[in-house]
Amino acid sequence: MNSNQQRQRRHQQWRNWHLWSGVLSVVVLLNLAVTGIALNHTDDLSLSSRYLGSNWLLRWYGFKAPGQVQSVTFDSGQALQLDDQLLIDKRQIGEGFSDLAAVCVSDDVLVVTTQSEVVLSTLQGELIERLGLPPSLVAQLERVGCELAGPVAQVGGQFYRPDALYSNWNLIDQQTVDQAKIAWSEVEQLGSLERKKVYQLYHQRSLSWERLLLDLHSGRLFGWPGLLLVDICGLLLILQLISGIYLFLKRNG
């Protein structure tokens, strides 16, 4: 083989490397381009505040079902507590709540009583205000019921009613308490089957579009194989650039 044939052979090898490096990396590069453009407009597309609720995708990420599920049924719906999340008719109103005690309806306002606070919301589940219980009542509530005016709490055989602002709970004379007119709330502890049913509700704000696109962009969505694939694609891109420069220089003398 003479020198001219050797040069032609090397030139063909460079062309093959350039071609196949482009072919092999095109899918990953397309993913990087599409996800990169979307992430560049995260605020415009509200990607951080838009969430995915697909069960299989949530399980792919390893999100677990809630450990504790409590339910209280009231006149117009249902309150659910999933661990420390509180939901009214499947709409999450917040996190960081202690154990659910009662739900009452007073003057078109939903009054949710937990072992540490009173939560006021609209009947549609929009949070109005969170008010802490007096220290003497925190974690001491034996049961809570509903009157027309709002909740009544029983602690140590004594009864308490909140004031109009729910800032103070006043001891009331037992003689004036007509327990027959109090609808005592019953908190139901749901089992493992129910926990699976509310899995999607529990994680309705766990996985945002921003996180999914970031994981797709980096390859982390597929674990270490995805990261390795992106790394290999990066090396192929480098090879394509080098081979492209080489072919350009050879072609132009």
pLDDT at 40: 93
CA separation for the pair 217, 207 (Å, rounded): 16
CA separation for the pair 218, 197 (Å, rounded): 32
Domain ranges for the chain: 3-50+209-251, 60-202
Low-confidence ranges of the chain (pLDDT < 70): 1-24, 247, 252-253
pLDDT at 211: 95
Longest dimension (CA), the chain: 115
CA separation for the pair 77, 89 (Å, rounded): 6
**Phi, psi for 178 (deg, rounded to 5):** -100, 95
Q: Measured in whole angstroms, how far is the alpha carbon of residue 148 from the centre of its chain?
A: 36
DSSP 180: G
Per DSSP, the three-state class of 200 is helix
pLDDT at 21: 63
77 strand-pairing partners: 74
Q: For the chain, what's the residue count?
A: 253
Model confidence pLDDT, tens digit, residues 109-135:
899 999 999 999 988 888 999 999 999
78 strand-pairing partners: 73
The edge-to-edge listing of strands for the beta sheet with 91-94 is 91-94, 85-88, 77-82, 69-74, 188-189
State both tokens at 172. Answer: 């009331």
Model confidence pLDDT, tens digit, residues 90-100:
888 889 999 99
pLDDT at 13: 67
Amino acid letter, residue 83: D
pTM value is 0.70
CA separation for the pair 248, 253 (Å, rounded): 9
pLDDT at 192: 75
pLDDT at 106: 85
Which segments within 15-147 are labelled E, that is strand?
Answer: 69-74, 77-82, 85-88, 91-94, 100-106, 109-114, 117-122, 127-132, 143-147
pLDDT at 219: 86
> Cβ distance 81 to 227 under 8 Å?
no
pLDDT at 75: 79
pLDDT at 200: 85
